[in-house]
Amino acid sequence: MVSLLFERSSATLFAMLELRDTIDSRYIQNLRGGKMASTQKRLHIPAAGGFGSLPFSSGVVVDKTFYICGHLGLDPATKKIPDRVEREIRLMMDSLRDTLAKVEMTMQDLVSVQIFCPDVSLFAQFNEIYRTYFAEPLPARAFIGSGPLLFGARFEIQGVAVKD
């Protein structure tokens, strides 16, 4: 009986992994102009590791649109917000860029971006670095004054990207 359960569990796990690989390859094929079956319209990108189990995805792809959750400028080595504002902005923007790359998108695929910031006096400093991550045309954007952010972050960014 135990042997039968183990075989079924192994078979189920193998089938799930195979399905995941199929969905991933069909999604990439869809981005390159192929067709995706109607039952496979969503791809969830897992949240970054190192923080335990988080109750959200880093982003969700629906057809050719990628909805990206809020990203912070956490230092990957310390899992903390750096002291220097410039470093935090770059880490956050790099994290956003890396998440886009996971689904073969770039910063130029972003169509809308929202930045949350509890200290709007950092607007000019943020823009100086933000601009270096894009070529023209820039995505639509809102810079929103907010309450305190998680981990004492000065910025949080989220966005929507569309692959042509």
Q: What is the pLDDT of residues 147-160, one digit of tens each?
A: 999 999 999 999 99
Domain match, 138 and 116 both? yes
140-145 and 110-117 as β-strands: parallel, antiparallel, unpaired? parallel
Domain that holds residue 76: 41-162
82 and 152 assigned to the same domain? yes
In a shared domain, residues 52 and 93:
yes
Distance CA 118, CA 101 (A): 28
**How large is the greatest C-alpha to C-alpha distance in the chain, in angstroms?**
67
The CATH number of the domain holding residue 149 is 3.30.1330.40
Residue 44 vs residue 128, higher pLDDT: 128
Please tell me the least confidently modeled range out of 47-56, 71-80, 148-157: 47-56
What's 78's DSSP letter? T
> 152's torsion region: left (phi>0), alpha (psi -120 to 50) or beta?
left
pLDDT for the residue numbered 40? 62
Model confidence at 111: pLDDT above 80: yes
Residue 139, amino acid: P
- The more confident residue out of 158 and 1 is 158
Could you give the dihedral angle defined by the CA atoms of residues 60, 66, 71 and 73, in that order, rounded to the nearest 10 degrees?
Answer: 130
Q: How many domains does the chain have?
A: 2
The tens digit of pLDDT for each residue in 14-40 reads: 333 343 344 444 445 555 544 443 346
| Helix 123-130 and helix 85-101, axial crossing angle in degrees, nearest 10 | 40
Element (H, E) at 130: helix 123-130
Of all residues in the chain, the percent with pLDDT exceeding 90 is: 61
The answer on 81 and 11 residing in a single domain is no
Distance between CA 150 and CA 69 in Å, rounded?
14
Residues 121 and 154 in one domain: yes
- Domain match, 54 and 126 both: yes
- Residue whose pair of structure tokens reads 């990439």 in the numeric block: 28
The pLDDT of residue 50 is 59
pTM of the model: 0.74
